[in-house]
Amino acid sequence: ILPKMGEFKVPITPQNYRVWFEYYSGTNKELLEEINSIIEARRKFTPELNRYLYTKYFGDDHNKEMLREVQAKTINVLKNFLEQVLATTNTTSDYGNKLEKYSEQLSKAEDLSEIQEILENMIRETSHMVESTRDLHSKLQEASNQVEMLREELAKTAEEAKRDALTGLHNRKAFDEEIAKLYKRYKDKGEIFSLIFVDIDHFKRFNDQFGHKVGDKVLQVVANTLNYTLKGKDFVGRYGGEEFVVLLPLTELDNACLVAEQIRENISIKRLRVTKTGENLGTITVSAGVSQINESDTIESLVERADKALYLAKNSGRNNVKSEKDL
């Protein structure tokens, strides 16, 4: 493994080593195919590409590490504050005993919600002694601010975990969560919604003829056009590969078909050119399949109908929209 990493000038870091170990083990077929395609295309394993491969295939492990780090930092902030308080001579015995109890609870805390509860209790106890411990109250507020910053960092990490690294759109995990929410609202309140699958026509041609860098640019152009076309509470994500997904709350099938057609038209007018040479790389077209939730649906059956409509569009000459009505 190490000689091969050296051959492709891949820095030997824990993250890079994990990617290449998984590649050589052959257990992750998608990773194996992606690295082989990179090697065949003679692309350089830049720091950005190495980071993208690790995030794509091992992002969940990274997020767990971030969660543990944030919680450890939070506990450390509060422990430092408690040590300062307990070393202060002008606190009452009762107050000191309570803070020692919180210090013990803090050592046993397992998640941020428990830490937050301990922090709130500490603030409440401190407020009883504001007149005699103004300096300590200020330090506690500072600790509270640091905890809030760490919570925001954790929230940002959680949001990044639901984004596709290449396009910036929501990823498959975010889609699964969003469609589950819409399905529950439909069952609880009768709020309908529609689903659109969008697939780039002849995407493999861009990769094979012009290279993966151009293929990545095509994905980004389609993603940007989807973002531009869709508004409000509409959800757009990358479902996988060259396939995208759109969720339209409170939208019936006919209107969803109009949205899909607008997406198709907006993408079809795009022209790709090489910036340096002006070479025309052709046009991008997409096919789309549309379905609407109904009383007998599961999430799986709704997705299946949209998927079948998409493949009907593909088999009908591509660059068109089909719905469940056409099945």
**Is residue 238 a contact partner of residue 185, using CB atoms and an 8 Å limit?**
no
Burial of 183 (0-12, 13-18, 19+ CB in 10 A): middle
**Is residue 193 a contact partner of residue 247, using CB atoms and an 8 Å limit?**
yes
CA atoms within 13 A on the CB side of 38: 17
Angle (CA) 318 319 324, round 5°: 75
Q: Which amino acid is at 251?
A: T
Token match 């590409």: residue?
49
- Residue 33 annotated to the active site: no
The active-site residue, picked from 7, 242, 243, 279, is 242
Q: What number of other Cβ atoms are within 10 A of residue 77's Cβ? A: 19
Angle (CA) 247 174 294, round 5°: 35
**Is residue 320 a contact partner of residue 287, using CB atoms and an 8 Å limit?**
yes
Token match 């699958």: residue?
197
What does the DSSP assignment read for 38-53? HHHTT----HHHHHHH
Catalytic residue ranges: 242
